[in-house]
Homo-oligomer: A and B are copies of this chain.
Amino acid sequence: MATDPAAVPPSPAPRLVDQQLRTRAQRVIPGGMYGHMSTALLPGNYPQFFSHARGAHVFDADGNRYLDLMCAYGPNLFGYGHESIDRAFTQQLARGDLAPGPSPLMVDLAEQLVALIAHARWAMFCKNGTDATTMALMVARAHTNRRIVIRCAGSYHGSAPWCTPIARGTLPEDRAHQLSCTYNDTASLQTALDAAGDDLAAVIVTPYRHDAFRDQAAIERDFAQQLRAACNLRGAVLILDEVRAGLRLQRDTSWSVLGVEPDLSCWGKALANGHPLSALLGGERLRAAASSIYVTGSFWYAAAPMAAALETLRLVRDSHYLEQLEHLGERLRHGLAAAAHRHGFEFRQTGPVQMPLFLFADDPDLRLGFGWCSEMLDRGIYVHPWHNMFLCAAMTAADIDAAVEAADGAFAALNRARPGLEPHPGIKALMSSR
């Protein structure tokens, strides 16, 4: 079928091990896999299991190597197995991780975060991003003695019963006193504010719109300012959910460039470069409320992830990682745009360049996106057809150029395969239900 030999991808190792693992997983893991790392809604050739990770690359269970443009869905900011971060982690692990109380590193880390994040005067640590967003709601409700939280429709804030995007197994009461507005839409915000009346506890919002399955969008400065003003006027709490974007866009909150400060901010994923740690940061006004709630977890006070976070923050402060991510992201965006144009595709790249999302125009059931991603995978580039991606500082210009070259071949192959493409059954079902 391929007429240009140069466009034929290197044949990947057959994914026999992955298939065997999937068969075994079907027996002992519900549905074979769950959550955001399930391949159920990914192209059929995507591996489910990975054996190795190093720098910007991952290796599937069959030994195939990929440039990983997902970065484990965000946690990988400086590279998998980063030398100085993992050394800080393992050295602390050898000294002590858990104990009957936290390590002095917890105080160091709280101080470092307060020094780095302008609005923050205090920090509470936890494990999941969902822990941080849930704690934020508790602090806001404790502070205000009010109930209502306004969220933007489609924004992801975690998978607890109050916020999981699939409500199965939850109660309507789990979402009581939540109101919805549309991201960047002043009128919808005003409607929600009017409905909340004097019972508004908080507004929770992501720093930019990074919802799955649709183009990403920057926050409009006016909208951010309106959120801030509305919370000020009503004594409500503005919560910025930085779990996904935190530390990839700014060395402060992602809104620091707008001059809009939240009252609370939620952090996770990249905070310790993949070691399990999340955090809720807050301003002085929320300190008493934060000390009044009871939240905890068996592993929240572990010292080794805090050692990793301290080294991660040192790199955030002292390296040019952010400028590098922007530079690499621009290179990728321009390279892909040129390749898509060459092959006649309208290829939408949205969001910050270091957190890109790729969607094809006129592709309502994502068959083009799936076809292209599938071809990219066969060329050793792991990209996602409907979730934003992440760049990391372990990537090089050569990695980006390899991704662009693979894209050139993938677009060519997509043109050839186009007449026979079918939508993924799961995506077809999902899209028809929306």
Give the CA-CA distance A296 to B166 in the complex, in Å: 11
> Is B53 within 8 A of A297, CB to CB?
no
> Is B147 within 8 A of A161, CB to CB?
no
Known: A37-B100, A103-B50, A159-B296. A302 touches B276 (CB 8 A): yes
Residues 104-129 of chain A: 1 if any B CB is under 8 Å from the residue's CB, otherwise 0?
Answer: 10110011011000000111100111
> Is A164 within 8 A of B295, CB to CB?
yes
Copies of chain A in the complex = 2
Give the CA-CA distance A170 to B24 in the complex, in Å: 41
Give the CA-CA distance A294 to B107 in the complex, in Å: 35
Within the complex, the shortest CB–CB distance from A298 to chain B, in Å, comes to: 5
Listed residue (A86, A98, A103, A289) with the most chain B CB atoms within 10 angstroms of its CB: A98
Known: A107-B24, A171-B141. A39 touches B75 (CB 8 A): no
Write out the residue numbers on chain B whose beta carbons fall within 8 Å of the beta carbon of A25. Answer: 106-107, 110
Write out the residue numbers on chain B whose beta carbons fall within 8 Å of the beta carbon of A59. Answer: 96
Residues 343-356 of chain A: 1 if any B CB is under 8 Å from the residue's CB, otherwise 0?
Answer: 00000000000000
Within the complex, the shortest CB–CB distance from A122 to chain B, in Å, comes to: 5
Q: Tell me how many residues of A have a C-beta within 8 Å of chain B.
A: 114
Within the complex, the shortest CB–CB distance from A157 to chain B, in Å, comes to: 13
Give the CA-CA distance A416 to B407 in the complex, in Å: 81
Which residues of A66-83 are within 8 A (CB) of B? 68, 70, 72-76, 80-81
> Is A98 within 8 A of B76, CB to CB?
yes
Write out the residue numbers on chain B whose beta carbons fall within 8 Å of the beta carbon of A31. Answer: 290-291
> Is B52 within 8 A of A72, CB to CB?
no
Give the CA-CA distance A68 to B216 in the complex, in Å: 51
Q: Which B-chain residue is minimally distant from A289 (CB atoms)?
A: B169
Q: Which B-chain residue is minimally distant from A89 (CB atoms)?
A: B93
Within the complex, the shortest CB–CB distance from A40 to chain B, in Å, comes to: 10
Listed stretches A8-16, A172-180, A183-191, A425-433; interface member: A172-180
Listed stretches A131-139, A249-257, A316-324; interface member: A131-139
Please tell me if A212 contacts chain B, counting CB pairs below 8 Å: no
Q: List 26 A-B contacts (CB under 8 A).
A: A21-B107, A28-B107, A28-B122, A30-B124, A30-B282, A33-B101, A34-B290, A34-B291, A49-B103, A50-B100, A50-B101, A51-B95, A54-B96, A72-B100, A73-B100, A73-B298, A75-B299, A90-B93, A97-B274, A127-B128, A127-B299, A129-B297, A141-B171, A166-B294, A173-B177, A276-B299
Interface residues of A (CB under 8 A from B): 17, 21, 24-25, 27-31, 33-37, 39, 47-54, 58-61, 68, 70, 72-76, 80-81, 86, 89-90, 93-104, 106-107, 110-111, 113-114, 121-124, 127-131, 134, 137-142, 147, 159-162, 164-166, 168-171, 173-174, 176-177, 243, 268-269, 274-276, 278, 282, 287-302, 382
